[in-house]
Structure 1
């Protein structure tokens, strides 16, 4: 029986923040194999992501707020073993999709471990750690979903989608670090958000989001899907409004860069992008 602390530190609800990548990728698949699409979702969001979260918590041993948990409990040996079981289960299920899918999943898991493992600790390198996250949580995850859910069994995956997802994660990730600067420093970790500072983090994320949206606009326009671009843009408006309001509050008082406001931003951004990309998926299915 898993302890309450182990279940909390797996942070399964945190997968909601990353699920827009899944729905955006699935919406681009021309012929969806729904059985495999469901399996891919289960593997990524209920096995691999929680294993990554748990392993990171086991290595970090945080005592203050982390993504999705305001008061994280101390990690146990059970948590570590659980992450291994989840990873192995995810890999075994990945083989049901294809050996190539499983091989790429091995790379994903390896990158996740290298990010957190004390002997390597890529997360302590601000730029390298940032790039690793956006490449694997963005571009590689798009590839996994698109390839794994494609009924045509094609190796072709649109690179534009991979870039868009990498940039969307890139514009989101530093905001999850903005309230953890001192805690990270105490652990020897210097994040890209710390290097940029609170205000710099907002400016940087705003620029990355603008680039992401520009790529997305070009992607839809090239496919003559301007109506879909308009729909997605409408759902981005609440996110932009809160982002600007929060930025102005942080500009006046750095204490506004706290856990509560960061989680509000995360939930709002995830909800709006999930709904918009689910809308794309339904729209494509009805066409």
Structure 2
């Protein structure tokens, strides 16, 4: 369990790519409390997500590059137990806020386990896995983070002021998710996992993501303008500019030689640019929306 290879499969740094959802939820949290903020952040990004990464890696047994690992080491039974340990720690941290937040962490984990576990393996079903991954990593996580940060319960899922921005994060993930699969076609097909990207084809994946990126941009623009937040509207467009430019450049290369350019390196650079731009924007939006700096 303590082998370095097991810890590598947890891919803790990969949590950086999921932080925009947390910061977006933080921007709407009505009850800011430092200790609770730290607990939610640690529970999600240092234990829940790594637990999910490790658990899925154990059952996938990838031999080629996966998100955050160019050359994944061979998995062992110790990785399975380490992922479960991280899972239990995340639930305990959640209980330090309230049982409802902890139960949300549990639901997220069970869905994540179903994604790769051979008895269910949602990954086999292209549209179901796409919908489930986008919803739970986006809207569900937004609502869960909001509930934990605010010391609320399951009732947050019935609040439109929580659900609407939550669904916006899912739109973003539904656009980017197939791109994370575009370089794994050979290995997914070998295991019998018909991912959405595999079903769409490499070029089809880019056309599909382009449509969802356009829809995401329109919906986020509507959201900020409906709240009379023109600065946030322009800030979001500025944050998305490097992402869209990189996407277009990448797509241009793919159209010329899809086998050469649909690889791990291009995918990870897309993830890095997107995560950096959106993290910066949502941290700024949190400071702007809450006007928390005016307190000091």
TM-score, structure 1 normalization: 0.96
CA drift of 1:286 comes to 3.2
SS of residue in 1 equivalent to 2:201:
helix
C-alpha offsets along residues 225-249 of structure 1, whole Å, 9 cap, x if unaligned?
1111111211111111000000010
Aligned residue for 2:267? 262
Mapped partners of 1:72, 1:179: distance in 2: 15
Q: 1:126-275 maps to which residues of 2 (within 5 A)? A: 126-150=126-150, 155=156, 156=159, 158-254=162-258, 255-275=260-280
Mapped partners of 2:123, 2:110: distance in 1: 14
Mapped partners of 2:39, 2:241: distance in 1: 32
Mapped partners of 1:150, 1:218: distance in 2: 26
SS of residue in 2 equivalent to 1:158:
helix
SS of residue in 1 equivalent to 2:63:
coil
Which stretch of structure 1 is more off in the superposition, 216-225 or 173-182? 216-225
- Structure 2: state its 5+ residue gaps: none
Kept after mapping to 2: 8 A contact 1:54/1:79:
yes
Kept after mapping to 2: 8 A contact 1:31/1:152:
no
Aligned residue for 1:283? 288
Aligned residue for 2:84? 84
Aligned residue for 2:31? 31
Root mean square deviation of aligned Cα? 1.5
Q: 1:2-151 maps to which residues of 2 (within 5 A)? A: 2-150=2-150
Kept after mapping to 2: 8 A contact 1:47/1:86:
yes
C-alpha offsets along residues 243-286 of structure 1, whole Å, 9 cap, x if unaligned?
00000100110120111111111111111111111111122323
C-alpha offsets along residues 104-148 of structure 1, whole Å, 9 cap, x if unaligned?
211111100111101110111000011110111001100011111
Mapped partners of 1:196, 1:286: distance in 2: 46
- Structure 1: state its 5+ residue gaps: none
Mapped partners of 1:230, 1:185: distance in 2: 42
Kept after mapping to 1: 8 A contact 2:98/2:151:
no
CA drift of 1:96 comes to 1.3
Kept after mapping to 2: 8 A contact 1:34/1:149:
no
Structure 1 stretches (4+) deviating beyond 4 angstroms? 151-154
CA drift of 1:33 comes to 2.3
Mapped partners of 1:21, 1:178: distance in 2: 23
CA drift of 1:211 comes to 1.4
Mapped partners of 1:197, 1:26: distance in 2: 37
CA drift of 1:30 comes to 3.1
SS of residue in 1 equivalent to 2:96:
helix
Mapped partners of 1:126, 1:138: distance in 2: 18
SS of residue in 1 equivalent to 2:39:
helix
